[in-house]
């Protein structure tokens, strides 16, 4: 029997290729496209193309194309690990490193490095072993990695219940005048640009970002942002919506390589959660990469420098 999906009311009107990319998260976009091109997707009993618009309540049936099973290879790479025990580890991901394989890229990712470092990771059979949450390729900072399936599930539930503390340092374009606030704007796929996300008025997923102004410069601002939800590209889209796109983000902001950053002006600075085995609150903080700090120095920042002490465990909760 072929797998089936029932279209929810909130997904009505969406292109089927975008819908499948959202709900079939373990499939790459290229694999979904292959399914559609091969006539392996039916809606309401008939074969449909990628541009087909969904109707609420209709049944989607799909057949996965046969593919050679991908076996991920361990690859030794330098890993900055702030904490590790038998259940999990916390790692500082550098910018310009993919967290896990995507599309046709199956090597040179953080997952490949973790496989070389750890004898066991959660969800070992998947292409994302150990990965509980993600950072964009050009974003640096803290990630927690699970070593067992039970620990993985516990951490996922903490993220879902919004228990986890996720705090970012962000350099944005423009002078932010408000001292801080809450960005409460639902996100959905951009109907005009398939690979982009945008703020939508209907049918989007709830997205909450708290921000606080740390320092103003002539044409830039330094913010601290807390994620309460973890939607794809959430901070980047929300800050662009606010009129202050992230420095270095050509997708939602400007094409220029401002301030000499190698990645985005976006750093996962603080990460806090309850240890799944003993219930103890763990909180970690790590300095931004050298190019981020150098950019701040060029902006002659005096405030905020106190935040960038050497990474490690913190008491904050």
Q: Which of 17, 26, 104, 136 is catalytic?
A: 136
Dihedral sign, Cα of residue 248, residue 268, residue 25, residue 182 = negative
Torsion of the alpha carbons at 194, 197, 201 and 207, rounded to the nearest 10? 150
136 part of the active site: yes
H-helix or E-strand spanning residue 169: strand 165-173
H-helix or E-strand spanning residue 34: helix 29-37
Q: Which position has the token pair 């090597």?
A: 107
Q: Using an 8 Å Cβ cutoff, are 75 and 108 in contact?
A: yes
Q: Which two tokens stand for residue 43?
A: 């809606």
H-helix or E-strand spanning residue 296: helix 290-298
- Beta-carbon contacts of 59 under 8 Å, excluding residues fewer than 6 positions away, are 4, 5, 6, 7, 43, 44, 45
The helices-and-strands tally (H runs, E runs) of the chain is 6, 16
**Residues linked to residue 262 through DSSP beta bridges, in sequence order:** none
- Residues that are catalytic: 136
């Amino acid at each position: 029997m072929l797998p089936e999906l029932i279209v929810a009311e909130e997904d009505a009107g969406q292109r089927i290729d975008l819908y499948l990319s959202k709900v079939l998260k373990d499939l790459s976009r290229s694999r979904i496209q292959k399914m559609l091109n091969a006539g392996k997707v039916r809606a309401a009993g008939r074969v449909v193309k990628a541009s087909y618009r969904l109707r609420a309540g209709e049944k989607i049936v799909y057949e996965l194309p046969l593919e050679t099973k991908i076996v991920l290879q361990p690859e030794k790479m330098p890993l900055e690990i702030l904490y590790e025990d038998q259940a999990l580890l916390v790692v500082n991901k550098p910018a310009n490193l993919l967290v896990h394989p995507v599309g046709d890229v199956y090597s040179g990712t953080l997952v490949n490095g973790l496989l070389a470092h750890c004898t066991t990771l959660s969800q070992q059979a998947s292409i994302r072993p150990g990965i509980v949450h993600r950072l964009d390729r050009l974003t640096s900072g803290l990630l927690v990695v699970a070593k067992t399936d039970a620990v993985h599930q516990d951490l996922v539930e903490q993220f879902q219940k919004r228990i986890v503390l996720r705090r970012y340092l962000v350099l944005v374009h423009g002078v932010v005048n408000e001292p801080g606030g809450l960005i409460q704007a639902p996100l959905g796929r951009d109907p005009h640009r398939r690979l982009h996300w945008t703020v939508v008025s209907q049918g989007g997923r709830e997205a909450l970002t708290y921000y606080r102004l740390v320092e103003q410069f002539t044409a830039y601002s330094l913010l601290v942002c807390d994620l309460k939800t973890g939607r794809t590209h959430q901070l980047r889209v929300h800050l662009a919506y606010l009129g202050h796109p992230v420095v270095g983000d050509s997708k939602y902001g400007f094409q220029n390589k401002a301030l000499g950053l190698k990645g985005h002006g976006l750093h996962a600075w603080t990460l806090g959660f309850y240890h799944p085995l003993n219930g103890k609150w763990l909180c970690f903080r790590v300095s931004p990469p050298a190019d981020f700090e150098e950019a701040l120095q060029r902006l002659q920042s005096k405030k905020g420098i106190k935040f960038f002490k050497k990474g490690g465990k913190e008491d904050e909760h």
